[in-house]
Structure 1
Amino acid sequence: MLIRTGRDGFQHPTASEITPRAVYEDRRRLLKWMATGAAGAALAQWAQREAFAQQVTRPGKLAPLQVVRSTVPGAVTMEKITEYKDATSYNNFYEFGTDKGDPVENAHTLKPSPWTVEIEGLVKKPAKFALEDLVKLAPQEERIYRLRCVEGWSMVIPWVGYSLAKLIEKVEPQGSAKFVEFVSLADRKQMPYVGSRVLDWPYVEGLRMDEAMHPLTLLTFGMYGEVLPNQNGAPVRVVVPWKYGFKSGKSIVKIRFTDQMPKTAWNKAAANEYGFYSNVNPNVDHPRWSQATERRIGEDGLFARKRKTLMFNGYEPQVGQLYAGMDLKKNY
């Protein structure tokens, strides 16, 4: 083999002649950054958002929403999305009936426009927002969250909204505010089952302030890239992905800040079955059934082996620290 040297009139190029100095120095910085593990997390997040964009489809049934991809950690699960037809026809919304198929049959009577949401209680800036103004308060993100029902079934839904914290910051809670209460519409003309003895109307839910401020807690205006169907809580609801579904109040007309733990609808109806916190916890059974497993609607048949329920519905890395030191069997 012949190797040319400078004596043959050939000069080996220096590194700076091959690649500009700024470029190869940037490469060195990139390698150091990758060594810290930050790059892996960033690349994983990028890949997650790209895969997310490919799997969400728009049903083309209701008004579309302008959305951006969420960058909130944990906001996009890679699990298969539940079919729109399943997510909109298998619902709990007792204002329209107690059977799973009642809301899709009866919720056409709900009039989601015009709509206002009143903010009151221990805030420096109480307000009454028209729906249009509430929607514009922050850019809307699309997030793929698991939704786990206390009855033992689950779904994966692409929700549209923004972190509830954006609204909370806008109204400036007083230092004495410890809880946030959500009050749903209770109009017998629009909701035929309001007045039934199943619950004490209106439907009320609540969160601790730090739970409400967590970036995963979503003030929600849509799903599958479109406005919320009536049976799914139109026109505005909350979605708290690490809690059982009934904690996510629908068709909200009032948000109240208080220093007292709210008396929530299901806790008043059956305190021994539905605690205030209601975090998804497979280690704490409902008094009438196990919470250790679940059935994914649209995927797991009635006779298929059920899947294991995840602590905090799989969101433990993001929210587990909120409950450090708490007895989650007592605070169920």
Structure 2
Amino acid sequence: MAHRWKNDLSAADVTPQQMFLNRRQIMAGALGLGAFGAAGAAKAQDDLQPNTWEEITSYNNYYEFGTGKDDPAKNAHALDLTDWVIEVDGLVDNPGTYTVADLTSGLTEEERIYRFRCVEAWAMVIPWNGFELADILSAVGVQAGATHVAFETAVQPDNMPGVRRGVLDFPYREGLRLDEAMHPLTMMATGIYGEPMPKQNGAPIRLVVPWKYGFKSIKSIVRITLTDKQPYATWNAINAREYGFYSNVNPEVDHPRWSQATERLIGGGLFAARQDTLMFNGYDEVASLYDGMDLRANY
């Protein structure tokens, strides 16, 4: 398996959820649990079919709603999306407060359904729908001095148990270099499987950077800032030894507490074997962004 899905797909390219569910049921019935061992699991993983809606929406990291993988699905229903706006400021020609509709006006979301592979310590294949971040940044007008883009997540203490418990230094913040942000693989996602973004997955709009580890893809964005310096990033600030600013998927750089050379695909079944992690998560087209950089030092 030499590469991951790219962003040249349309809605017709994405396996419908029910068809995918039926396919998995047929495979399970034909093979039987005993026959579906490591070889069968590896083959299924290599197929890179999208994960089901249930898998995508029930196994999440969203610390504002709790630190357990199932906490966001239990608690995110309280997220208040009423009158959602995004503040755009910093080195832009048109700073201001925008609705999601304002930022995506004129962009044809239905033609931009991307099937990306997302990795943390685990991996999923998620059919996001949304827009290239570059389209939005171009619309607000990036000024010449800008080198980075900073993002900030909503903070709603009354609705977010993790915020009340102070499990992190909220608001959650992340950032990208400008050339990373402008790359056509970097997107602002507003839905999954053609449906509006579930709250536990980052409604109403979130970042998706498929060649980086999942915590870089910040959820429920309320602020975008163009800046001339590397921005604050929550996990990098808390523990820089474990979470570098770049956080590119790199099997040659171990997390201090575990190897990142292999990964586990969610939905692969009880007997799913771990598989090799690919550099940049298999998105080789971003490698030129890091020409000349020591990717062990700049992890």
User: Shorter-chain TM-score category?
Assistant: 0.7 to 0.9
Secondary structure class of the residue paired with 2:17: coil
Runs of 4+ in 1 over 6 A off after TM superposition: none
TM norm structure 1: 0.76
Distance 1:271 1:240 in 2: 20
1:48/1:168 CA distance change after superposition, 3 Å: closer
Secondary structure class of the residue paired with 2:55: helix
**Which structure 2 segments of 5+ residues have no match?**
1-5, 20-45
| 1:7-86 matched pairs, under 5 angstroms | 52-53=13-14, 55-57=15-17, 79-86=48-55
Distance 1:325 1:134 in 2: 35
Note if 1:262 corresponds to 2:231. Answer: yes
Note if 1:287 corresponds to 2:256. Answer: yes
Secondary structure class of the residue paired with 1:320: helix
Match of 1:198 in 2: 167
Aligned pair partner of 2:277 in 309, 322, 328: 309
Aligned pair partner of 1:224 in 193, 201, 205: 193
Secondary structure class of the residue paired with 1:193: helix
Shift of 1:268: 1.0
TM norm structure 2: 0.84
Note if 1:182 corresponds to 2:151. Answer: yes
1:186/1:58 CA distance change after superposition, 3 Å: farther
Secondary structure class of the residue paired with 2:165: coil
User: Alignment RMSD, CA only?
Assistant: 2.0
Aligned pair partner of 2:214 in 232, 239, 245: 245
Secondary structure class of the residue paired with 1:249: coil
Note if 1:144 corresponds to 2:112. Answer: no
CA contact (8 A) 2:9 2:115 kept: no
Counterpart of 2:289 in structure 1: which amino acid?
A: L
CA contact (8 A) 1:58 1:224 kept: no
Match of 2:91 in 1: 122
CA contact (8 A) 1:195 1:201 kept: no
Shift of 1:210: 0.1
CA contact (8 A) 2:118 2:125 kept: yes
CA contact (8 A) 1:184 1:252 kept: yes
1:58/1:181 CA distance change after superposition, 3 Å: farther
Note if 1:99 corresponds to 2:68. Answer: yes
Distance 2:252 2:87 in 1: 38
Once the two structures are superposed, what CA deviation does each residue of 1:203-232 show, in whole Å capped at 9, x if it has no partner? 000000000000110011001110000000
Distance 1:230 1:128 in 2: 22
Counterpart of 2:244 in structure 1: which amino acid?
A: G
Aligned length: 265
Percent identity for Structure 1 against Structure 2 = 51
CA contact (8 A) 1:237 1:251 kept: yes
Shift of 1:189: 1.4
Once the two structures are superposed, what CA deviation does each residue of 1:173-195 show, in whole Å capped at 9, x if it has no partner? 11111000000001101212114
Counterpart of 1:163 in structure 2: which amino acid?
A: E
1:240/1:78 CA distance change after superposition, 3 Å: farther
Counterpart of 2:264 in structure 1: which amino acid?
A: R
Distance 1:125 1:284 in 2: 40
Comparing 112-121 with 88-97, which one deviates more in the overlay? 112-121
Match of 1:132 in 2: 101
Shift of 1:234: 0.3
Once the two structures are superposed, what CA deviation does each residue of 1:36-83 show, in whole Å capped at 9, x if it has no partner? xxxxxxxxx9x9769724x13379xxxxxxxxxxxxxxxxx9721111
CA contact (8 A) 1:267 1:276 kept: yes
**Which structure 1 segments of 5+ residues have no match?**
1-44, 60-76
Distance 1:98 1:309 in 2: 25
Query: Computing the radius of gyration over CA atoms, which structure comes out larger, 1 or 2?
Result: 1
Note if 1:325 corresponds to 2:292. Answer: yes
Name the structure, 1 or 2, with higher relative contact order (CA <8 Å, separation 6+).
Answer: 2
Distance 2:18 2:196 in 1: 11
